[in-house]
Structure 1
Amino acid sequence: MSWRNAAVALLCAVTTPVLADASPSPAPAPIPCPKSAEPNPERPPRPSPPPDVPAHRTVGGKQLDSAGLVVPAGVPDPPANTAVSWLVADLDTGKVLGACGPHEYGTPASVQKLLLAATFLDKLDPQQIVTVVHEDIAIPSDSSAVGLVENGQYSVETLWLGLLLQSGNDAANVLARLGGGAGGMAAGVQAMNQHAKWLGAYQTQAVTPSGYDGPGQFTSAYDLALIARVCFANETFRRYQLTERTQIPAQPPKYEGFEIQNENQLMSKYPGAIGGKTGFTSLARHTYVGAAERDGRRLVVTLLGAEPRPQRSWQQGAALLDWGFSLPEQVSVGRLVNPGEPLASPSPSAAPSNPDGPAEVVAAAAESRWTTMFFFGTGLAIATGMTVLAGLVRRARIRRRTDA
C-alpha cells in the first residue's frame, strides 16, 4: 500500500465515529390491572380523547405514565375491580400508593361537581339568598336534580348541600352562574377550567358545571385525586360531606319543603368515611371519589368507568381504600403535585434537577450531551488524523531525498 493510500485509510478510520444503535428500545407493555368479572353493558361509543401531552402524563412522577397497573414493589396485589382507571393516594402527604392508568383520559359524570366546589366554595357567601332562573333548571330529563323551582329562593349553603348530597345538576347550574358573575354560567365553567390547570389537573376539561356529558369533557383518575385533595383540605367542604340530611325550604304558596339525604353509601357503611362523590351517565358509566380516615391517616380513592356488578362503585372504592391502608406509609409510586406548582420545563437544564420530571426533558438533555460529545470527538479525531498524515508526508519526502 502506498503512503497516500495508508494515510487516507488511517484518516477515515480515526474520523469515523463508532455509533451504538440509536433506535429506542420499545416501551414495556403495561401490566394489566386486576379486573372483576363484569357485564357487557350496552353503552355509547367512548368519545375520542384529545392527543396525549407527554408532560401531562408524567405529572406526579415518571412511574405514573402507564396505561396499566402501577404499584410499589413487593406489596400485595390490589383488589380486582371493574374501573377503567383508578388511583389511591394519601390526602395529607400527597403520596400516590397505587393506580391503574392514572393519566388515562376518562369521562367524569357527577364527580366533576368536586371541581365546582374547589373553584367556588370559598368565593361565595353561604348566607347569600339566590333566586333561581329558568336557565338553572333547564336540564335534561335524565339529570339528577335537587328539585329547585323557578323563582325559588335558596341560600348558597342549601345549594352546596343539594349539590353534594343529592348531586343536583340544577344546584350546579345556579352555583356556576353565581360564580361566573356577569359572565354567567359560561364564565363559571371557564373559571373551573382555569382552576383545574392551577391545581395541576391538566387533563381535566369541563364543559358543563355538573359533569353532565358534553363534547370534549374529560378528566383522569390522577386529576380527580388532585381536586379531591383540595376539597378535603377545606373545613366547610368536610362539614358538608358529613351532613347526613338537610331540609330544602318551602317556596310558598305552591311548593312545600322536603328533606334530602346523603347518597354516598360509603358514609354510612364504611368505618372512618369522611366523604366523597358518586357519578353516573350512560357514557361515563359509574365514577367515584371516596375518602376515609384510619389511625390518623387519610386516604382518597378515585375510579372512572366502573360497572355496578359484582359490586357497586362505592364498594369497589372501599376495597381499594382497605388495600391502601394495609400498605406501609413510606411506599409510593408518585405524588400529588401542589396547587400552583409549575409544570416541569422541557429544557435540558431541567433534567439534572428533576430526575422524576417528564421523559422528554431527560431525553432532550441526553441528546444535547451526545451531540456535544459527537462533534467534540469528531473534531479531535480530524485533528489527530491530520497530524498523522503530515507526519507520513514528511517521512515520505525524507525517504525520497535519501534514495536519490
Structure 2
Amino acid sequence: MPPASGRVPPALKCLIASVTVLSLLASPSVATAASQSQRGERTGCSNATLPPSPVDSSEVPPPGEPTPDPLPVPDEPLGGDRMGECGLVAPPQAPPPPREVGAAGWIVAELGSGDVLAARNPHGRYRPASVIKVLTALVAVRELEMSDTITATRADAAIEGSSVGLEPGVTYTVRQVLTGLILQSGNDAAHALARELGGRRETVRLMNGLARRLDATDTRAATVSGLDGPGMSTSAYDMALILRAAMNNAEFAEIASTRRAELPTPPGQPPLRIASDSDVALNYPGGLFGKTGFTDDARHTRVVAAERGGHRLVAVLLRGEHRPVDMSEQATALLDHGFRLTERRRVGELVTRRTTTSTTPDTRRTEESPRQAAGSEDPRGLPPVVGFLGTLLLAALAVLTAVVVYRRRTR
C-alpha cells in the first residue's frame, strides 16, 4: 500500500505505467497492427499487406458492410526467409530469369517436393482474378459428389463475366460443371456450384477456411469466380501452394487433365463442345494444367503446370501485362526457366503445416480447423481471449509483487 501521505513513489508509478502499456500492447488488435506496421517497414515491399489500389468501385463494400482489414502478415515468411524478399529470389549463380517475364509477382516450384526454384516478390499481395477458381474447384471436389446433378438457372446464365454456356433448365453433373469451370473459366459454372454448396457467402466461407488450413496466409476470396470484391487478395506463393494441393486431389487432377469436353444442351440441339482456354495446357510439351485470369484491378494472371524429365513444375504470374510478349509466352518462358533450375539449390519451399490433401479423392468435408473455430489468433499464436487474459494476470501479479516489496522496504 502507498504511504498515508497518498504519494506514490516514482519507481512504482513507472512500473504501473509500464505494465499498463504492456497490457494494451498485448491486445490482439493493437499488437497485430503494430506488428504488421513493423513488418511492412522491415521488408520494404510495396504490396506486403495490400494489393495495389483499385481502379474502379468493384471493391467498395455493400452499404452497411465495413471495409475488410488487411490480412495479418506472419512474423516469419512461410516457405523460408528468402520468401520474404521483394525482388528476384534465385539460387546462387543461377541464370537470370527470362526478360519477357514482366509480372509483378511470380514463382516457379516443384509440385512433388514443394521446392521453390525461383521467384519475384513471392508473398506480395495481388488480386487473383479467375485463377482463384482453382480454390473454388478444390472446395467443390471436396464437398460435392461428382455424380450429383445441378440444374442451371437464369441467374447462372446471366452472371457477369466469362461464361461456359450453361443453359437454364438443363441438368448437368457436378463433374460437367467443374469441367466448364476449369476449362473455360465459366463464371456461370462458378455461380451454379456456389448454389449447390449453399450460396455465395457459404462458398466464400469454405474457400477462405480451406485457404487458412493450407496456410495460404495472403489469400482471401471475396467472390467465387475471381471478379474483384472487397478484401480480395492472394500471392504467387499462395497460388502455387493451392494448385499443389489441388493436383494432389485425384478428382481435380482428372478434370484438370481434360483438354476438350462436351456438355449437355436442350433437347434437339447438338452437345456443347468446349476446350481449355489455356495455350499452355493445349500446346506446351508436357503441359498438365493452365488457368487464365483478368480483371481491370487484377490485370492478367496465370497459373500453369507441366512435366518434363521426371519434374512437375507449377508457375504462377500475377499482375502481368501482354508485353513485351503475350502472357502465355511469359508463362512458358518461366516454365522453361524452372526446368533449367531443377538441379540447383532451392530458395524456399511450399509449406502446409496442417496437411489436408491426399492422393485419393476427398469425401465431403465441412469441419473447421481448431484455428478457424477459435477465431483469429494473436501474434503469439494464442486465441485472443487466452492471450489477453493471461497478460492481464501477469500484469496484476507484477503490480502486487511491487506493492509487497515496497511495503516491506518502508517498514
Q: What TM-score comes out, normalization by structure 2 length?
A: 0.69
Aligned to 2:169, the other structure's residue is in SS state coil
Partner of 2:84: 65
Distance 1:345 1:138, change over 3 A: same
Question: Does the 8 Å CA contact 1:291/1:298 hold for their aligned counterparts?
Answer: yes
Aligned to 1:283, the other structure's residue is in SS state coil
Cα RMSD over matched residues?
2.9
Identity %: 42
Partner of 1:159: 177
Cα shift readout 1:268-306 (whole Å, capped 9, x = no counterpart): 321111112111112211100001111111110001111
Cα shift readout 1:115-140 (whole Å, capped 9, x = no counterpart): 01222213311121211234333412
1:147 and 2:147 matched: no
Distance 1:296 1:103, change over 3 A: same
Equivalent residue in structure 1 for 2:299, among 285, 299, 302: 285
Partner of 1:319: 333
Unaligned runs of 5+ in 1: 1-23, 31-41, 349-404
Question: Does the 8 Å CA contact 1:144/1:169 hold for their aligned counterparts?
Answer: yes
Aligned to 2:116, the other structure's residue is in SS state strand
Cα shift readout 1:197-237 (whole Å, capped 9, x = no counterpart): 10011111111111011121111111101100011112222
Equivalent residue in structure 2 for 1:189, among 204, 208, 224: 204
Q: Structure 2 matches for 1:1-400, cutoff 5 A?
A: 51=70, 53-55=72-74, 58-80=77-99, 81-140=101-160, 143-180=161-198, 184-252=199-267, 256-329=270-343, 331-338=345-352, 340=354
Aligned to 1:202, the other structure's residue is in SS state coil
Distance 1:73 1:131, change over 3 A: same
> Using the alignment, how far apart are the partners of 1:329 and 1:191 within structure 2?
38
Letter in 1 for 2:83: L
Report the Cα offset of residue 314 of structure 1.
2.1
- Larger-gyration structure (1/2): 1
Partner of 1:375: none
Aligned to 2:229, the other structure's residue is in SS state coil
Letter in 1 for 2:177: L
> Using the alignment, how far apart are the partners of 1:112 and 1:69 within structure 2?
24
Distance 1:326 1:283, change over 3 A: same
Letter in 2 for 1:61: G
Question: Does the 8 Å CA contact 2:104/2:318 hold for their aligned counterparts?
Answer: yes
> Using the alignment, how far apart are the partners of 1:148 and 1:56 within structure 2?
45
Aligned to 1:193, the other structure's residue is in SS state helix
Q: What TM-score comes out, normalization by structure 1 length?
A: 0.70
Question: Does the 8 Å CA contact 1:177/1:186 hold for their aligned counterparts?
Answer: no
Cα shift readout 1:58-88 (whole Å, capped 9, x = no counterpart): 0111211122111112211111222110011
Partner of 2:18: none
Aligned to 1:55, the other structure's residue is in SS state coil
Partner of 2:12: none
Question: Does the 8 Å CA contact 1:153/1:251 hold for their aligned counterparts?
Answer: no
Cα shift readout 1:113-170 (whole Å, capped 9, x = no counterpart): 0001222213311121211234333412xx0001112222111111011001110001
Distance 1:27 1:212, change over 3 A: closer
Instruction: Figure out how many residues of one structure are paired with residues of the other and give that number.
Output: 308
> Using the alignment, how far apart are the partners of 2:58 and 2:173 within structure 1?
38
Report the Cα offset of residue 322 of structure 1.
1.0
> Using the alignment, how far apart are the partners of 1:122 and 1:330 within structure 2?
35
